[in-house]
A and B are shown apart, each in its own frame.
Chain A
Amino acid sequence: MSQYVFQQIINGLALGSLYALVAIGFSMIYGIVRLINFAHGDLVMIGAFTTLGLVAYGVPWPLILMFVLLVGALAGMTIEATVFRPMRGAQQVTGFIATLAVSIVIQNTGLMILSGQPRNFLFPAFMRQRVQLGSVSASLTDLTIIGLTVALIALLLVIVYRTRLGAAMRATADNLTAARLMGIAVNRTILTAFAIGSALAAAAGLLWGGKFGQIDPLLGFAPGLKAFIACVIGGVGSIGGAMLGGYLLGLAEVLFVGLLPPQFAGYRDVFVFTLLIVILLLKPSGLFVRHVEERA
């Protein structure tokens, strides 16, 4: 494989990792409360700025990651408990608009406190070196993004599929009323889903800053939208679908630009959204949702 193609694939996987981290939380939240949460992307921004603040105080990076996960979880839980919980049972469109409102509030609070001026965001110098893998090489930043994402996703899958709490979350997402009748405290379960999903988005913020080098208070819009698209591609409400959708989207974006003649580079979003439309036409429920036949 040529260095060029390899580099494109690593690039796509790194971008896909970021999308996947955001999309998984987006999907978990939709799965459990049927809420298209457009404020979810803003957790990425909160994670990025939390990182920047801690770096300024010289906190070591592993500790920063822990802290960012915690801040993301707390932010997500706060939003759920104060805004979304009181609206439970309202029409879906009400909740949807509420998420837009939360997003606007977060972004503008960010603009007020932090100003709209983009800030430089730097991983430590050694992260910018390249790692030689046989005849090809990749940046340590990209490899770290991919590795950390895989680790976080593995941890998430263990929680969701191997623990009692995870089973309760899946049961609540499947049938809220039945979950209550089993004695599952559903508000606590929902809060947990928000905590986990938001922590992942905040972690994506840390990595986002490292990959792109600059952050500003409005940066959450793009990952939020891309996460939504990744979920639609993979199947909304499914964790595996969101993950695969995120990677597919990241790879598609990078490979369109990298492998097509340069004059098409500016049309990257055209290709991506065309792909989305084709997928929606062929498989409206998402590519990776196994259809469980349900009987009456």
Chain B
Amino acid sequence: MLEVRELHVFRGATHVLKGISLDVRAGEMAALIGANGAGKSTTLQTLSGLLRPRSGTAAFRGTSGPVDLTRAAPERIVGEGLVQSPEGRQIFHSLSVAENLAMGAYLRTDRNEVRRTLERVHDLFPILKERASAAGGTLSGGEQMMLAIGRALLAQPRLLLLDEPSLGLAPQMIERIFDVIATLKQQGTTILLVEQNAAMALDIADRAYVLENGVITLSGTGPELAGNDRVRRAYLGMAQ
């Protein structure tokens, strides 16, 4: 579904991604783990068309056929079904919860379909229904995360990019969010999850990549990486 090859991305003069390659197959959950500053968010921003790579390819099988993510405009990428829930949630603070969700469905035209998706999101996160008319900025951190994921789901993603859903949340809330992510996966959503919280990510990922200083240094299935000595030392905080 997503095939990235030898992607080089610069931010200003800084060479952030130094030729990364990764795959996400239909129906699976892939995880990209790594420390702060390794280039995880840069990867997702490039896939969403917000940053342009210097070289390399990123191909996505969209709703209407193959999409070259290195050239397509962000709105086209969303329309083709590659949707991101960005780092730091980035909800619209001054818009109501309902309006935030409606923005997720901005490009969709079939109102009945949108209503069905909205019901599904309300089932996953009942609080978003209760607080539909509250301004997004008045929600708690955890509620904002639910709103960010719900908003992304309303775009009907074929591939959902989740950037650090655990960031800044209380442990209990992280559990709840990851439960929902697992549910989404069961329901057949393909997901690329970016996380610093490697333990949680590897626990539910089918396939995982370790990104260090802009280079993919390890890849394998979730359990493989969770059993890898280097990963255990560097990311899972375990002694040998």
Q: Which A residues form the contact surface with B (CB < 8 A)?
A: 164, 167-168, 170-171, 174-175, 177-185, 292-296
- Smallest CB–CB gap between A91 and chain B, Å? 14
- Smallest CB–CB gap between A229 and chain B, Å? 24
Tell whether A293 pairs with B138 under 8 Å between CB atoms, given A171-B95, A182-B106. Answer: yes
Task: Give a binary string over B100-141; 1 marks a CB under 8 Å from any A CB, 0 the rest.
Answer: 001110110000000000000000000000000001011111
Contact (Cβ within 8 A) A174 B74 = no
Q: Determine the interface band of chain B, counting residues with CB < 8 A from chain A.
A: 20 to 34
Contact (Cβ within 8 A) A179 B103 = yes
Task: Give a binary string over B63-85; 1 marks a CB under 8 Å from any A CB, 0 the rest.
Answer: 00000000001110111000110
Q: Is B86 an interface residue (CB 8 A)?
A: yes
Chain A residues with Cβ under 8 A from B107's Cβ? 182-183
Contact (Cβ within 8 A) A178 B90 = yes
Contact (Cβ within 8 A) B93 A294 = yes
Expressed in whole angstroms, the Cα–Cα distance for A195 and B99 within the complex equals: 24
- B104 touches which one: A177, A182, A185, A293 (CB < 8 A)? A182
Contact (Cβ within 8 A) A184 B106 = yes
- Smallest CB–CB gap between A30 and chain B, Å? 14
Give the tally of cross-chain contacts (CB within 8 A). 82
Chain A residues with Cβ under 8 A from B140's Cβ? 295
Expressed in whole angstroms, the Cα–Cα distance for A180 and B93 within the complex equals: 16
Chain B residues with Cβ under 8 A from A175's Cβ? 90-93
Beyond known contacts A182-B106, A293-B137, A294-B93: 7 more, CB 8 A cutoff:
A175-B91, A177-B86, A182-B107, A183-B77, A184-B75, A184-B103, A295-B137
- B168 touches which one: A184, A185, A294, A296 (CB < 8 A)? A296
Which of A175, A177, A180, A183 gathers the greatest number of chain B CB atoms within 10 Å? A183
- Smallest CB–CB gap between A78 and chain B, Å? 22
Q: Is B17 an interface residue (CB 8 A)?
A: no
Contact (Cβ within 8 A) A167 B103 = yes
Contact (Cβ within 8 A) B102 A167 = yes
Residue in A closest to B99 when the chains form the complex, CB atoms: A167
27 A–B contact pairs at CB < 8 A?
Answer: A164-B106, A167-B99, A170-B92, A174-B92, A174-B94, A177-B50, A177-B90, A178-B86, A178-B90, A179-B103, A180-B50, A180-B75, A181-B78, A181-B84, A182-B104, A182-B107, A183-B74, A183-B78, A183-B79, A183-B106, A184-B75, A184-B106, A292-B93, A292-B138, A293-B138, A295-B138, A295-B140
Expressed in whole angstroms, the Cα–Cα distance for A185 and B78 within the complex equals: 11
Tell whether A170 pairs with B95 under 8 Å between CB atoms, given A178-B86, A182-B103, A292-B135. Answer: yes
